[in-house]
Chain A
Amino acid sequence: MLSLGAQEIPLLEGETVLEGLERSGVDVASGCRAGTCCKCMLRADSPPPESQSTLRPTLRAQGYFLACQARPEGRLTLHSAEAPTPVDTRVEEIEHVAEGVARILLRPSTPFPFRPGQYLDVLHPDGHARSYSIASLPSDGVLELHVREIPNGRVSGWLHGRVQGDDVRIRGAFGQCFHVADDPRKKLLLVGAGTGLAPLLGIARDALSQGHAGPIDLIHGGLEPGRLYLREELSRLAEQAPQLRIHHCVLRRATQHEHEGQLDELAVRLAGPLASVRAFLCGDGEIVHKLRRKLFLAGMPSAEILADPFLPAPA
């Protein structure tokens, strides 16, 4: 039996979810019907594991499955594809942590479920929506964002002008860039440029709080040393967790505390063997693209590379 909103759809003997939906006239995309093309991907509460086996771990963790491969026993509750409802938050703190970068803590007025490393949309009063990644854990009670002010940027500029107590409306959470505790010994490689640190901080703290035992290498890149922020906080985190190593990288003017060079080249060098690593790549779109390509060509399986390019909103 399938439930989809108010609709109840009984499944025939041996029928897949895809076949059942089509038979009942539900408009659902499909392609190969053999678990390869992923066009019929849907979401549900605990779908049959065999319908998830070829998907990324992050998709599996969120209940995504392939409708053409699912023959559920008992009831399967499907999620509809509606956008999540907006949530009101209040600015709890705003702190300038580096040139042009603010760390903003938002306290949601109603529950806001998310995975650290996912992103939310900030809804500007004029109707513009922009994405920002979440650096905090649900147990922190506040949502931590790192926002770079873009010259003439509508939403980043507006956020930089907020003060304690102001209202900020958000929606979310979205995205596939988060920790899944499927292998506590796996090596995690976290590489971010600029405010790409925000999701990585969330992912690293999340992995540690879930008892991750394997090595975690966090590589933060910036133009020059002054652009790298939250360095003390990162050092403190690494002191408490011996498996966490922090590397600072800059393009120019390195001191003895930073490596100097292109972030993708440094990342491959600092990471060591890549065959059984999971990578998270966040920040500027062009940099993430180069990182992804470099790591892939150096031998990382594409399924283990999770990336969140911070692409500008479409004009």
Chain B
Amino acid sequence: MSLYARLGGEPAFQTAVDIFYRRMLSDDRVARFFDDVDMEGQIAKQKAFLTFVTGGPAEYTGQDMRAAHAELVKLGIADEHVDVVIEHLGAVLTELGADAKDVGEVAALAESVRDQVLGR
């Protein structure tokens, strides 16, 4: 069973996405990258993000990680920002009841796309 399913699937995710996005918007280290006028669209994308890193619906066909962050790389996202994302991710998952092993696995998955996200 994927972590996505164990954490409660879709209904739990609605809440998780809110918590995660609230954290990103409140953290001065990364807030400017999320300061989009279209919050509704942003929330949908944060949901895609969380679904992706927790092994949600396998057929998820969003943009690839490189394309999704190409504009942000131009705006200056770097390793330190990926670290912040992984930090908040761990906190949100813990808040939702994931254990340390789960959090470690998600962090590893996020690590595995670090180079794509940063366009390297």
Decide yes or no whether B77 CB sits under 8 A from chain A. Answer: no
Number of interface residues of B (CB under 8 A): 25
On chain A, the residues within 8 Å of B39 by CB distance are 289, 292-293, 296, 302
Decide yes or no whether A303 CB sits under 8 A from chain B. Answer: yes
Cα–Cα, bound, A37→B60 (Å): 8
Instruction: Check if A297 sits within 8 Å of B11, measured CB to CB.
Output: no
Decide yes or no whether B104 CB sits under 8 A from chain A. Answer: no
Q: Tell me the interface secondary structure of chain B in the complex.
A: helix
Decide yes or no whether A270 CB sits under 8 A from chain B. Answer: no
Instruction: Check if A297 sits within 8 Å of B25, measured CB to CB.
Output: yes
On chain B, the residues within 8 Å of A54 by CB distance are 10-11, 14
On chain B, the residues within 8 Å of A297 by CB distance are 22, 25-26
Cα–Cα, bound, A285→B38 (Å): 10
- For window 191-209 of A, CB contacts with B under 8 Å fall at none
Cα–Cα, bound, A280→B75 (Å): 33
Instruction: Check if B61 sits within 8 Å of A36, measured CB to CB.
Output: no
Instruction: Check if B18 sits within 8 Å of A33, measured CB to CB.
Output: no
Instruction: Check if B60 sits within 8 Å of A31, measured CB to CB.
Output: yes
On chain A, the residues within 8 Å of B17 by CB distance are 302
Decide yes or no whether A301 CB sits under 8 A from chain B. Answer: yes
Residue of B nearest to A311 (CB): B37
Interface string of B49-60 (1 = CB under 8 A from A): 001000011011
Decide yes or no whether A222 CB sits under 8 A from chain B. Answer: no
Instruction: Check if A35 sits within 8 Å of B22, measured CB to CB.
Output: no
Decide yes or no whether A83 CB sits under 8 A from chain B. Answer: no
Decide yes or no whether A230 CB sits under 8 A from chain B. Answer: no
Decide yes or no whether A34 CB sits under 8 A from chain B. Answer: yes
Decide yes or no whether A38 CB sits under 8 A from chain B. Answer: yes
Give me the interface of B with A, judged by CB distance under 8 Å.
10-11, 13-15, 17-18, 21-22, 25-26, 37, 39-40, 43-44, 47-48, 51, 56-57, 59-62
Give me the interface of A with B, judged by CB distance under 8 Å.
31-38, 54, 285, 289, 292-293, 296-297, 301-303, 307
Given A33-B57, A36-B60, A285-B37, 13 extra CB contacts under 8 A: A32-B60, A34-B10, A36-B48, A36-B57, A54-B10, A54-B14, A293-B25, A297-B25, A297-B26, A301-B14, A301-B15, A302-B21, A302-B40
Query: Can you spell out 12 A-B residue pairs with CB atoms less than 8 angstroms apart?
Result: A32-B57, A32-B60, A36-B10, A36-B13, A36-B51, A38-B44, A285-B37, A293-B25, A296-B22, A296-B39, A301-B18, A302-B21
